[in-house]
Chain A
């Protein structure tokens, strides 16, 4: 009887001990990674950069256990919605990932992000590591609110060399050549262009380049400056007309309006040979390097600048896209979090390891003095091409949906979708968009 009692008591004690140790394990979990509830937070994007950001933060956390950073990743389209809501509610991350432009300005106007001008003055090393033109994209009204954090992202016309060889075609240098290629590819049973139309922003790349090639960068500069009737510029109308001609000719793949770019289905069409060309950002190279390593490494992936348009005013070397992505520091973060965030920006970001990581992933970091590293990379052809494209561009126009205010940007994407679906005419587009000026 006594024995039994003892055993019961022993079991109770060991059960208690076990549960205590379980609790201890539970609480030691976060401590093991060095992040706690009040450590600085960072939200990044899934995709090509994800492993690079993760590696950079991991090594930072290892060497700075007292000022660790908690990192989460989100898909592009979902992130853009989530971060704005979170920042508006004062629940945003310490380091806010962004694109500069109109969205950044709305954060600045609402006092949600800190002025980093003083930080740059105190740390001339940080200032001098960037390509100056790209640093400029984080400046609003003469003050720096955002610092570049990854890679230059010009929009590039990619093509599948294998498919081009099969029908004996050359990549188009002019718009007329491009239109002439459409029936050839269709006859061969290949879609001329892939397009992630459901995401809508890939549609915009066509409009951005065509307007630039036809009317030069001034056309969009006027739109961004909210000049009255800026959308009625003949260059915009002609660009939209050309887009609809291309849609009519069957230039875009069957079902383009239901293809989402977030799922990388648009680039898959290119490397599987179902589509001959795609107009997309330089970041899809990272995706294809991962998803279709053979296609990229065997040199079947071609790339070329957007064709010129006869009689157009724009310099064929002009580029559209994103100069970089940026970190802004949330003004709602605690002093401790801000300190950690800025220390990371100073010492953790773009250190030797981070720069090499970006290059290895197939991207061009936005820092100076990397020519040698690019040349030593297995992706040197593409990387030096992109680097030169961004460096030598007389004009680098920021993606319009990011440059404009969010309300205007959204209206533009919705109406451009209607243009691609042929539900509205270029003139209707212009008048609808003129009505949004100043909103």
Chain B
């Protein structure tokens, strides 16, 4: 029996040598974290420090990097486009969550059951997951084109709206396309979560006379608590990182209507060639992302690893 590979049941450990017991109580050796930590330092912490440094400079990407105190920060914070980008990001985050969470939960529960037709449908639902964001964006851009797209092609006037050119409409179109792409992923998470729920709970509920709806609200939902937290964290923090899809679909337009924070950062850095300001935006993005992730973890309670299952 090897104590370091898996966590064996308690009663087995009690019978082991004292050495094994100590390793188990302290958990695996801290040295195991070294490779991951080294990669994290190299590819996350170091670049982050670099960005923090750049945010106090002026640099056009070509010439010398000039230290310039807080001038990049002043530019960024005084720019109304930054405030707008934050607002657009918040809106996309909110609407994406509102749209995606219930759909993925219901689809996840639906596809978790064992009927054959559900399995077949599940395969279909997962197709968008296989496509790259750029491909999805290009396809939707073509379909939504008011002159050559789906509406004029099928002769359906209500589909021939100026979907991507109307400032009021475009945000919801973006939310829809994002949902189309990411709902399958969250469905997959929920499907896995639902399948983990022991059948004995449902059997007990049935004996007690609970109907399907009651079973859903009293067993499925509470048992999915941690799945929901995982999925929501991914949705909310992930919506800070929507870039490729929106960049290809609308390029942040029309005007600034879909200029999300990450897109604003990219355009400031690589189109306007103001690396200092772009770095300041990057720092803001990291701060918001961390804060949100921490907040969502807190909502889930301190002891995230505790099982909800009776007797386990």
Point out residues on A near B: beta carbons under 8 Å.
81, 84-85, 87-88, 106-107, 109-110, 112, 197-198, 253-260, 265, 268-269, 274, 406-407, 410-411, 417-418, 421, 423
Contact = CB atoms under 8 A, between A and B. Distances in A.
B63 A81 contact: no
Given A87-B62, A417-B255, A421-B254, A255 B167 contact: no
B271 A81 contact: yes
Contact of A406 (B144, B148, B255, B273): B273
Interface stretch (B14-22, B43-51, B158-166): B158-166
Interface string B242-283: 000000001101111000000000010011111000000000
Contacts of A106: 60, 62-63, 273
Interface string B162-183: 1111010010000000000000
Interface string B7-50: 00000000000000000000000000000000000000000000
Contacts of B63: 106, 109-110
A407 B255 contact: no
Which one of A257, A406, A417, A423 has the greatest number of beta carbons of chain B within 10 Å?
A: A257
Given A255-B165, A257-B254, A274 B147 contact: yes
Given A253-B147, A274-B147, 5 more contacts: A106-B60, A106-B63, A255-B147, A257-B253, A407-B272
A109 B60 CA distance: 11
A258 B250 contact: yes
A256 B63 CA distance: 37
Contact of A254 (B61, B141, B146): B146
Contact of B62 (A107, A268, A410): A107
Contacts of A421: 167, 254-255
Contact of B164 (A81, A255, A269, A417): A255
Given A198-B251, A198-B253, A255-B162, A406 B60 contact: yes
A48 B59 CA distance: 35
A268 B255 contact: no
B254 A88 contact: no
B145 A255 contact: yes
Interface in B100-130: none
Nearest to B59: A88
A269 B146 CA distance: 11
A301 B148 CA distance: 21
Contacts of A265: 145, 147-148
B78 to A, nearest CB: 11
25 contacts: A84-B273, A85-B270, A106-B273, A107-B62, A109-B62, A110-B62, A198-B250, A198-B251, A254-B147, A254-B162, A257-B253, A258-B164, A258-B253, A259-B147, A268-B148, A269-B147, A406-B271, A406-B273, A407-B272, A410-B267, A417-B253, A417-B255, A421-B167, A421-B255, A423-B255
A81 B60 CA distance: 12
Which one of B62, B63, B253 has the greatest number of beta carbons of chain A within 10 Å?
A: B62
Given A254-B162, A257-B165, A407-B273, A85 B148 contact: no
Nearest to A269: B147
A77 to B, nearest CB: 8
A410 B253 contact: no
Contacts of B61: 84-85, 88
Contacts of B170: 258
Contacts of A84: 61-62, 270, 273
